Amino acid sequence: MPLPSLLAVFAHPDDESLSAGGVLAQHADSGARTAVVTATWAEGTWRAAELAEALRVLGAGKPRVLGYADARVPESAPGAARLCDAPLDEAVGRLVAHIREFRPEVVVTHDAYGGLSGHPDHVQAHRVTVLAAEAAGWGRLYPEAGAPWRPSALYLATHPDSAARALGGALLRPGREMSSVPDEWVAAVVDVGPWIERKLKAVLAHRSEVERGALPGRLAVLPPGERARLLSTEWYVRHGAPPAAAPLPGLVT
Could you list the pLDDT tens digit for every one of the 253 residues in the chain? 789 999 999 999 999 999 999 999 999 999 999 999 999 999 999 999 999 999 999 999 999 999 999 999 999 999 999 999 999 999 999 999 999 999 999 999 999 999 999 999 999 999 999 999 999 999 999 999 999 999 999 999 999 999 999 999 999 988 889 999 999 999 999 999 999 999 999 999 999 999 999 999 999 999 999 999 999 999 999 999 988 878 999 999 9
Task: Classify residue 203: in a domain, yes or no.
Answer: yes
CA distance 223 to 30: 29
Task: Classify residue 244: in a domain, yes or no.
Answer: no
CA distance 46 to 76: 9
> What total number of domains does the chain contain?
1
The three-point CA angle 191-1-203 to 5° equals 40
245 CB-near residues (< 8 Å, 6+ apart) = none
- Contact of 53 with 13, CB cutoff 8 Å: no
Predicted local confidence at residue 176, as pLDDT: 86
Nearest to 230 by CA among 8, 18, 9: 18
Domain that holds residue 103: 6-238
Phi, psi of 158 (to 5 degrees): -150, 180
CB atoms within 10 A of CB 140: 6
Is residue 152 classed as helix, strand or coil in its secondary structure?
A: coil
CA distance 88 to 232: 34
- Contact of 74 with 62, CB cutoff 8 Å: no
Task: Classify residue 1: in a domain, yes or no.
Answer: no
Task: Classify residue 249: in a domain, yes or no.
Answer: no
Q: What is the pTM of this model?
A: 0.97
Task: Classify residue 252: in a domain, yes or no.
Answer: no
Predicted local confidence at residue 243, as pLDDT: 86
Amino acid type, 29: D
- The kind and range of the H/E element at 236 are strand 233-238
Q: Is 14 exposed, middle or buried (0-12, 13-18, 19+ CB in 10 A)?
A: buried
Predicted local confidence at residue 2, as pLDDT: 87
Task: Classify residue 243: in a domain, yes or no.
Answer: no
CA distance 238 to 91: 23
CB atoms within 10 A of CB 90: 13
Amino acid type, 206: H
CA dihedral angle for residue 42, residue 45, residue 50, residue 56, rounded to 10 degrees = 50
Task: Classify residue 154: in a domain, yes or no.
Answer: yes
Predicted local confidence at residue 244, as pLDDT: 81
Phi, psi of 238 (to 5 degrees): -90, 115
CA distance 226 to 156: 25
Nearest to 4 by CA among 104, 108, 133: 104
Task: Classify residue 253: in a domain, yes or no.
Answer: no
Q: Can you give the CATH number for the domain in which 133 is found? A: 3.40.50.10320
CB atoms within 10 A of CB 239: 19
Rg (CA), the chain: 17
CA distance 68 to 71: 9
